[in-house]
Amino acid sequence: MFKSSTLAIPEVGPVPRHIAIIMDGNGRWARKRHLPRVAGHRKGAEAVRATVRGCAERGVEYLTLFAFSSENWRRPADEVSFLMDLFVNALEQEVAKLHENDIRFRVIGALERFEPRIQALIRDAEALTRDNARLTLTVAANYGGRWDLMQAVKRMLAERPGSAQSFTEHDLGRYLAMNDAPEPDLFIRTGGEQRISNFLLWQLAYTELYFTDTLWPDFDAGALELAIQSYRRRERRFGRTSEQLHEKLAGRPLVSGTG
Ligand code: IPE
Ligand code: IPE
Ligand code: MG
């Protein structure tokens, strides 16, 4: 398990190790073209392929995509069912390609709400790709940040009932859905809204946030590059002062409590 950014200061490089994306704006992309919303979702799936490729080529190690939130069940039934079909198609048709490209595939979220057939496809895809090392692609489906925190607390207390008074951040972190990945370095939300929409609430504590008006179906290699360039200009202080960071770069030891 990776140390949390509040317990130890992470190493920071020019390429984000972990990028997390809220892929938003499919419906508006379609509406602009007088197409049904679902046409935007279909086009959005192409943007997923380009982004996975772009991240693998740049040496990003973890890519986490918000595909369906725990609140997206509130949408019209026909849109929900179209999104489920798109998910099934992607699982059936893309997983072999991911495997060929040494990409590990994972799904996080309350999967029990999905049809058994979808759950089986997910299990098979995860098993097939589990030892791949180039990039870990995690899809958040029926995922919510609050669900994640709640399920982690419940599982921890069920396994370790005595820990209610004494558990640490590190103990709880082991039960969170993303426990095998470092916290995201860069968060991207397309589609112009500036909110988290119940995505990774715990893990985004020190993530750099990037919002773009580009609608998800239009997000391509150039748009990914702009996001990474913006990330490179950020100063990640994790609570320290800018002066401390410059001293560290000059090779002097950093005086700090942890990390
Ligand atoms: C994001 O695009 C895809 C999902 C939430 C599944 P939207 O469908 O939210 O598109 P907008 O926000 O209505 O444009
Ligand atoms: C967030 O987008 C969820 C996904 C992209 C899967 P939404 O479009 O559902 O978010 P809100 O409703 O605008 O906050
Ligand atoms: Mg939206």
What are the pLDDT digits (tens) for 3-57? 899 999 998 999 999 999 999 999 999 999 999 999 999 999 999 999 999 999 9
Q: Which two tokens stand for residue 12?
A: 């920071």
Condensed to tens digits (0 to 9), the pLDDT of residues 98-125 reads 999 999 999 999 999 999 999 999 999 9
Please tell me the distance from the alpha carbon of residue 226 to that of residue 230, in angstroms, as a whole number: 6
The CATH classification of domain 18-249, taken from the options 3.40.50.1000, 3.40.1180.10, 3.40.50.970, 3.40.50.720:
3.40.1180.10
The string over 76-85, giving b where at least 16 C-beta atoms fall within 10 Å of a residue's C-beta and e elsewhere, is: eeeeeebbee
Please tell me the distance from the alpha carbon of residue 156 to that of residue 176, in angstroms, as a whole number: 10
Helix (H, G, I), strand (E, B) or coil at 206: coil
- pLDDT given for residue 259 in this prediction: 43
Pocket flag, ligand 1, residue 217 (CB < 6 Å): no
Pocket flag, ligand 2, residue 119 (CB < 6 Å): no
Instruction: Return the residue matching tokens 């489906």.
Output: 141
Pocket flag, ligand 1, residue 45 (CB < 6 Å): no
Better-scored residue on pLDDT, 72 or 252: 72
- pLDDT given for residue 52 in this prediction: 98
Q: Which atom of ligand 2 is nearest to the CA of 195?
A: 14
Indicate if the pLDDT at residue 258 is higher than 50. no
Q: Which atom of ligand 2 is nearest to the CA of 66?
A: 6
Give me the residue spans of the domains in the chain: 18-249
- Note the pTM of the prediction, 2 decimals: 0.95
Pocket flag, ligand 1, residue 65 (CB < 6 Å): no
Q: How confident is the model at residue 179 (pLDDT cuts 50, 70, 90)?
A: very high
Q: Which atom of ligand 2 is nearest to the CA of 191?
A: 8
Q: How confident is the model at residue 218 (pLDDT cuts 50, 70, 90)?
A: very high
Condensed to tens digits (0 to 9), the pLDDT of residues 126-153 reads 999 999 999 999 999 999 999 999 999 9
Establish whether 220 is a catalytic residue.
no
Neighbours of ion ligand 3 (CB under 5 A): 24
User: Can you tell me the mean pLDDT for 87-105?
Assistant: 98
Among 95, 55, 72, 68, smallest CA distance to 184 is for: 55
